[in-house]
């Protein structure tokens, strides 16, 4: 694939499984993602996780045959969203929402690290093709009460829905607990971009738990007797 091809042409080829087109998209867009991460002041490891999440989500979009209408705008908005959510989750505060000028951010010479380029390239192999997408309904990290929570309060709470199923999640220190509504026979698979997949069965009330979960980019796939439902990739 010619890296000078237009973005729509690269997207079309990547959607058909062309790895070269995907890598060309990475080269074209990764500097802007890294610039946005840098402007939000994230620690390097958190910035790596956010960058990886952006590319995992884009791979999912293309794997399902979807194409963001304005790729530059979609990538910028997704990167900003993940930066803000992660900052809020880390600090238990709602950061300022004024991000004017971030779309014009210019990365420094060392912003695009080999690690981030490798992670972005490898995201292509993680694209979800067969599972239906779930939509994020709630993220407590962005709620006003996040700034007044104490050490004994619940961790980050997320709600997702799709295919008649609601998935409630609580992200704690080193663990991820949740519940599938309505309760039914189902399994939940935890995809972690930096670790092996793990699958557990829900109990009679739809509850499940993963322990020993490290920070990074994660996705949950709920498999019932009728369908598989995939959450968006989330940075925890």
Confidence at 94, pLDDT banded by 50, 70, 90 = very low
Same domain, 101 and 174: no
Residue 10 has pLDDT above 70, yes or no: yes
Q: Is the pLDDT of residue 147 over 50?
A: no
Split at pLDDT 50, 70, 90, the class of 65 is low
Q: What percent of the chain is modeled with pLDDT above 90?
A: 49
The structure's pTM equals: 0.73
- Where do we find the tokens 């992670």? 119
Domain count of the fold of the chain: 2
Question: Cis omega before residue 179 (within 30°)?
Answer: no
The residues, any chain, with a CB within 8 Å of residue 36's CB and separated by 6 or more, are 76, 79, 80, 83, 102, 105
Q: In this structure, are 12 and 120 located in the same domain?
A: yes
| Per-residue model confidence as pLDDT tens digits over 159-205 | 999 999 999 999 988 899 999 999 999 999 999 987 899 999 999 99
pLDDT at 42 over 90: no
Handedness of CA 190, 228, 139, 194 (dihedral sign): positive
Residue 169's CATH number: 2.60.40
* CB-based contacts of 172, cutoff 8 Å, min separation 6: 154, 155
Are 13 and 109 within one domain?
Answer: yes
Do 158 and 223 have their domain in common?
Answer: yes
């Amino acid at each position: 694939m010619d890296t000078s091809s237009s973005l729509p042409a690269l997207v079309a080829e990547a959607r058909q499984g062309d790895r070269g087109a995907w890598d060309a998209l990475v080269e074209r867009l990764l500097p802007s993602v890294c610039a946005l991460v840098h402007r939000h002041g994230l620690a390097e490891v958190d910035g790596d996780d956010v960058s990886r999440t952006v590319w995992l989500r884009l791979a999912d979009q293309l794997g399902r045959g979807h194409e963001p209408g304005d790729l530059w705008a979609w990538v910028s908005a997704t990167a900003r969203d993940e930066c803000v959510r992660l900052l809020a989750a880390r600090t238990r505060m709602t950061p300022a929402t004024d991000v004017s000028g971030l779309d014009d951010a210019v990365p420094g010479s060392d912003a695009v690290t080999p690690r981030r380029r490798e992670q972005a390239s490898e995201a292509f192999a993680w694209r979800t093709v067969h599972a239906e997408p779930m939509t994020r309904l709630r993220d407590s990290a962005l709620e006003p009460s996040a700034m007044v929570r104490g050490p004994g309060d619940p961790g980050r709470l997320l709600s997702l829905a799709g295919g008649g199923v609601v998935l409630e999640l609580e992200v704690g220190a080193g663990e991820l607990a949740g519940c599938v509504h309505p309760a039914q026979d189902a399994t939940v698979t935890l995809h972690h971009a930096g670790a092996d997949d793990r699958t557990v069965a829900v109990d009679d009330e739809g509850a499940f738990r993963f322990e020993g979960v490290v920070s990074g980019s994660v996705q949950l796939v709920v498999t019932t007797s009728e369908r598989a439902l995939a959450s968006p990739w989330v940075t925890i």
